[in-house]
Amino acid sequence: MLQIKVSDRDRISAVGSFGTMVLALGAGMVCIGMIFLFCGANPLFAFKKIFTGSFGSVYGVKETITKAIPLILIGGGLTLAFKAKFWNIGAESQLLMGAILGTWVGLNWGPALPPVMIVPLMFIAGFIGGAFWGLIPAVLKLRFSINEVISTLMLNYICAEFLTLLIVGPWKSKKKFGFPYTDDLPDSAILSLLPGTRIHIVTLMLALFTVVLLSLVIYKTRFGYEVRVIGENPDAAKYAGIDFTRTTLLIMTISGGMAGLAGVGEVAGIHHYLSYPDSISSGYGFTAIIVAWLAKLNPVYVIFSGLFFAGVLVGGDAIQISLGLPAATVEIFNGTMLIFLIMGDFFTKNRVRIQSGEKG
């Protein structure tokens, strides 16, 4: 009788970890190629269209960078939460809550304040909104032992419906011919773009700065050490006197707040008004989970994994046009890659053996 035995690896080398990740990515690509083939599309042609559509032209590169901005911000915040094994699946709603508060500040204070004042205030409000929404599941877990995967996931739906309520109700503009949008943000609250692109410079610089700073915090500060200890061995963290409650609350303040910053960037840099949730975010909060995982929970690596998956989002639009595949194709791509990355991480940390066992 065959038995499968799983044991921890005593030592995980950097080369082995990288090699396993590459194999996981390759296996994921093969599986996705089979899905393309099942849908009647040539896998090689589909992959070519995805990556030439995102990195094969000046326009594609500009759009890829635009979509990478929220992925880098959110993915960076998720690396912190995941380091502590707090599974924050609610970054999508934290982004939306940041967009809601940032829009409120822009609409109400923007007309009376210059850009140098209103833009920072919008980002501060967005950070507060995302942090507040991130603290709810943290408190629920700490106080009532409610699983954070369930609470963060459910909060996504609550926030999305709340935003919809605002734009079809009290915040609905009277100048939009009945469409469910808010009024346009005043000029002072609109972010400057890189000429000829949709790249909002302030948010891009903010994203790059925050992930570098977060990397220093995780690996060079006492707080970062506490985060890593909590994630690796919660019992050891309690024995060492680490304040689990304070650290968890601070983790979700930062993680949710960074997603909130992304929400402000999308509204003030791209849309200039609040609209339906799926218009504000192209599923960035969910895609950023894969971004963080591919980056091996290192905030600096999030820059590169964010660009990669932003390219997938842009290239996904290209294959919809050229191959006639549905929009859900991109979600299938992302979900498949996440599964294989998780599998790769499992085999990196564990040794699996198949042995023949005797019947008792």
3-state secondary structure 176-207: CCCCCCCCCCCHHHCCCECCCCCCEHHHHHHH
pTM for this model (two decimals) = 0.91
The vertex-65 CA angle with 59 and 67, nearest 5°, equals 105
Distance CA 30, CA 53 (A): 20
Angstrom distances, CA of residue 319 to CA of 52, 290, 310, 324, 336:
10, 21, 15, 7, 17
pLDDT of residue 357: 60
pLDDT in tens, 206-230: 999 999 999 999 999 999 999 999 9
Tokens of 84: 């502590």
pLDDT in tens, 62-73: 999 999 999 999
pLDDT of residue 353: 80
| Radius of gyration, CA atoms only, the chain | 22
Q: Go through the domains of the chain in sequence order and give each one's CATH number.
A: 12-33+53-356 (1.10.3470)
Tokens of 300: 């600096």
pLDDT of residue 84: 95
pLDDT of residue 20: 82
Distance CA 255, CA 74 (A): 7
pLDDT in tens, 117-173: 999 999 999 999 999 999 999 999 999 999 999 999 999 999 999 999 999 999 999
pLDDT of residue 358: 56
pLDDT of residue 360: 46
- Phi, psi of 175, deg, nearest 5: -105, 5
Q: Which residues contact 191 (CB under 8 A, 6 or more apart)?
A: 119, 200, 201, 202, 203, 265, 268, 269
Tokens of 333: 């791509």
Divide the 360 residues of the chain into consecutive groups of 10 and give the mean pLDDT of each group: 74 76 89 88 87 90 96 97 96 98 96 95 98 97 95 97 96 90 96 96 97 96 94 85 93 97 97 95 93 93 95 84 77 86 83 67
